[in-house]
Structure 1
Amino acid sequence: MKIVIAGAGFGGLRLARMLNNKPGFELTLVDRFNYHQFQPLFYQVATAGLDASNISFPLRKVFQKSRNVRIRLANIERVDAANRQLVTDSGNFYYDILVLAMGAGTNFFGNANLERHAFSMKSTVEALQIRHRLMENFEKAVHEKDPDQLQQYMNIVVVGGGPTGVEVSGAIAEMKRYVLPKDYPELDFSRMNIYLLEGSDKVLGTMSGKSSEQAGQYLKELGVTLLTGKQVSDYNGSVLECKDGTAIPTATVIWAAGIKGHVPGGLDGLSLQRGNRIPVDPFNEVKGFPGIYAIGDLACMATDTNPNGHPQVAPVAIQQAGNLAQNLLKHGLDKVLWKPFEYYDKGAMATVGRNKAVVDIPKPKWHFGGFLAWLVWMALHLMLILGVKNRLFVFLNWLYNYLTYDQSLRLIFKEFHKPEQKE
């Protein structure tokens, strides 16, 4: 059975590993990067808490001993369902089963200016770009004489009060408190403002009211200016404007306000759901396209408890990949015997800063925060990181940062042009 997996995120990688070296399966794993990215820690790369290599793991190393998994680097263009091919810029891949696991990207809701000037954080490369922008702005601020321009460099705006927005805001606030005044003694960091804008009336809207309230309190303790009920209308690279007339001068806007699925071309007639998600049946098969499956953030499986699809989080992708793999291993293509997918919600968590985190557990219904929640958050993320060496490096980085309140990763790598050779 030829299986092509499009995307090596949590879902795609899980599926490939479960079918690795299983007789009767020939797998091709297609991705535009040659490494798996641990998305929950992008914000720590962006704020110089971790090196990019700590949260990235080479795909070919995962499958060094594999007899049936092949890695191909390519940009996915479209699906040719009639001829059962995945069309990419590196050639076509024939399949018996195609699994779409490309995840989701940033949703700027059609605002071209925001897309042009704001920073998204959906890849390791984008996280590094944010880090470089932060460091470069402080270097410029040291030389700046114009007070208005200086304030733009010193203002940082994060849009979106979900886990990503909360975590990156808290991390920047801790940089302001513990690191930046030592790095830049020439600057007055009492003038530095960190704004977190959220369109609804609270942060962490998908979590419990207690978690939302506690996270908001933690952010205020760290010095983050939390502005709820704010919907962004425009950003020209120097001033962020809200629909209610609020204007914030800033040279750095981090956009964490929405995501949309990476849907390939070729799926004509498909009725995409909210967030550009693909409708699937209880077995994750794309409706109207036999032999094509979608898992993770890209899939929208409507259920009684989740009428708009499951949460777009890593556990859903991992569990859907596991269910699909088990069905294929046990019953092949005989879908009569397949087990429908049921999501087991183990809970949700978010960290705000040192000793500050919130955790919700659904069964039994329990909320807790503070130091214990922070330890649970760290332990879970260490377990999920791919590779023993990566886990060790991340743990050592966290330990060093906890003891010293610092991290030596504030590096700016600029493009180097070789001088032209004279003839």
Structure 2
Amino acid sequence: MELNKDRFITLLTKFIAESKNLQNLPPKFVPREDLIALKVLDVLKPFTKENGGVLNVQHIHLDKANYPERGHVIIEYPGTSKGTANPKTFSIVGSHMDVVPADETKWDPTTPPFKLTHKTGTDEYFGRGTTDCLGHVALVTDLFLELATHKPQLKQSVFAVFIVSEENTDIPNIGVDDLQKAGYLDNLKHGPVIWLDSADMFNTIATGGALTWELTAFGKNMHSAMPNRTVNSLELVNEACAEIQKRFYTDFPAHPKEKEYNFEISSTMKPTLWKEIQGSFNTIPGQATICGDIRLSPFYEVSDLKAKVASYVKDINENITKLRSRGPYSKYDVPEYGVKGRIELVFHEEVDEGIACDLTSAGYKALVQATTEAIGPYQPVSTLGTLPLVRNLQRQGMDIQITGFGVEDVYHADNEFLRLGDFVKGFQILNRTIELVEKTIN
């Protein structure tokens, strides 16, 4: 079996034409992923069991009343072990049907974001979603069309899951985490799970965890001519942030296993945003907030991190006067005027945990061999970027492996594109991985 390039490009052309309505940044942009899902269902329809074919296809809306056009798609090519006491599966999960927003004014006018455009003389095809992740949706759809046409005899059932709400999860209760909670992914636990939302061909063998936070310092508003009568919240929040970062790097240094997994950097904690302060040049603010994130190595636990950071904040508040000050009239406790500074750090509710893939599993070994056969010497990568759900699935005993065939440099970037040759090889990698895993089944 091989990628049907004409069919792939035809389907991807239809996908990219819809990408303007797939942008995910609520409330400005709320995607309608069914614009893609229905096209997938349409091309698969002649091959479904209802129409005399072999595929089982589900279109699942977790909140159809409020979001009638945001449905996941699950495709199954059944194997002979289905329904036995020892079923075997091979699953491709994570390719999503939403995209990040695109500003048309920042794209090359010859390659607009919402139309698939072939760059003459190359195998590059431009458009929002080509690399992330509509190209993968089109690729896997074509893989199932080939399976349904050639009907190889497999012991393992092969699944694909196309998901909604990956690029932004502000709208609750409809994403892949909720799909898992509802039990729709339970059948996937009997074999390797390939998370197909990465880039540059080689396996991603580890990802980081991500937490966002807000650090707020409290003082008291005061005229800037009288700094001795108040606590300057801007100064306090900066000093507290620096102290928390210092302690973080002491407690979460480079982990020994990061070298084995080829991490370029270790865990980080840093500010990335200011919350706007309503004030004036001659007013010392009584409250100031810095926002930021933590990228955590998968070899540390998020629960341990949160406990440590809470202890930093508690200790700083109990010893507020020991923080570095900015001069004789810069103090964090001014008892004669009844002002004592304090800080508060809040983690946002959404947390994506990192994952270190099992480098000894049958799924990993098969994917490595298939990748090496397709593109040459194996060069796995790790990143402190994040993926949803993967750590939870791994905790449930699933063999999670991560790969992808887009171009990393254009993820979420202007002038996004894919290389057709990479997707031809990507098809080969997935098909060969299925074959190699099949050989391990007794």
Q: Answer with 1 or 2: which has the greater Rg.
A: 2
Of the two structures, which has the highest relative contact order with CA contacts closer than 8 Å and spacing of 6 or more? 2
Q: Is the TM value for this pair above 0.5?
A: no
